[in-house]
Chains A and B, each alone.
Chain A
Amino acid sequence: MRIKDGFVLREVAGQGVVIATGEASRDFHGMIRLNGTGEMIWKSLADGRSEERIVEELTERFDITEEQAKTDVTAFVRQMRDNGFLVD
């Protein structure tokens, strides 16, 4: 699983925003604002990390349980899939 070519994260006023560039921008005309957790998951996905590894990272970095981290990562990945940002 990886992020589709053309979808990029930009830092704007201290917040992450995902937009489409290149061919991807022909179909996706929006922007997605991410909070800190979302931004971290996005960057980890961009680096090619697995969902399991991202859950570990979240629990290490933030004061949350593994269960909560799993819920967050699963929800985020599902949203990204629904938006067509991910390919297997």
Chain B
Amino acid sequence: MTERAWSEDIERILETEGLFVSTTSGTSMWPMLRDRRDTIIIRPIADVRPDGVLHKYDVPLYRRETDGAYVLHRVIGVSGARSETRYVIRGDNTYTPEYVRPDQVIGVLSDCYRGNRRIDLGGRPYRLYVRCWVAIYPIRHCCRLLRGALARTPLKGLYRACTGR
């Protein structure tokens, strides 16, 4: 009645099960994915993108080269020539781009649940969110810098009162 799979080796699960279902930890994909509250469904790239190439706004799962950690962030662009292709990837709530080789990518987000509500990743509300959120990145980045600067001034008391921190 049951079949068990553990996430220590997601590559193996994707190979044997054809999908990987889990929650996420951390806030780097907030507001889309909340820490340990939402559900992600990852599939092999070929199941989602038959040409094997990630598109802008896709959310791949990859292994970070520096520490081997699994990371689920969003493609915001592609750089380099064919043999030197790098996906430019950034979390929805992070401010530093990562440059990821195609062979580091393990799978791609195919479905997700926000709480108990299924999000249609091909639907208009999600597509609108993604485009707007990525488009306003410069504004978000400026706001973050301003918040940081304000927090280092005598106005930090006012800043903390406003943000509740």
Contacts and interface: CB of A to CB of B under 8 A. Distances in A.
A and B bind: yes
B103 interface: no
A30 to B, nearest CB: 4
B2 A34 contact: yes
B149 interface: no
Interface residues of A, number: 27
Contacts of B85: none
B1 A12 contact: no
The secondary-structure label for the interface of chain A is mixed
The secondary-structure label for the interface of chain B is strand
A79 B2 contact: yes
Contact of B36 (A22, A33, A76, A83): A22
Interface in B118-154: none
B37 A21 contact: yes
Contacts of A76: 1-2
A13 B1 contact: no
Interface stretch (B3-11, B52-60, B61-69): B3-11
Given A12-B19, A12-B41, A32 B36 contact: no
Nearest to B34: A21
Nearest to B24: A25
Q: Which 10 A-B pairs have the closest CB atoms?
A: A38-B1, A30-B6, A29-B7, A33-B3, A21-B23, A17-B21, A31-B21, A25-B36, A25-B23, A32-B2
Interface of A: 8, 10, 12-13, 17, 19-23, 25-26, 29-35, 37-38, 41, 72, 75-76, 79, 83
Given A19-B39, A20-B23, 19 more contacts: A10-B39, A12-B19, A12-B41, A17-B21, A21-B39, A22-B37, A25-B22, A29-B6, A29-B8, A31-B4, A31-B7, A32-B3, A32-B5, A33-B3, A34-B1, A35-B1, A35-B2, A76-B2, A79-B1
29 contacts: A8-B39, A10-B21, A10-B113, A12-B111, A17-B21, A21-B23, A21-B38, A21-B39, A22-B36, A25-B22, A25-B25, A25-B36, A26-B36, A29-B7, A30-B4, A31-B4, A31-B20, A31-B21, A32-B5, A33-B2, A33-B3, A34-B1, A34-B2, A35-B1, A35-B2, A37-B1, A38-B1, A75-B1, A76-B2
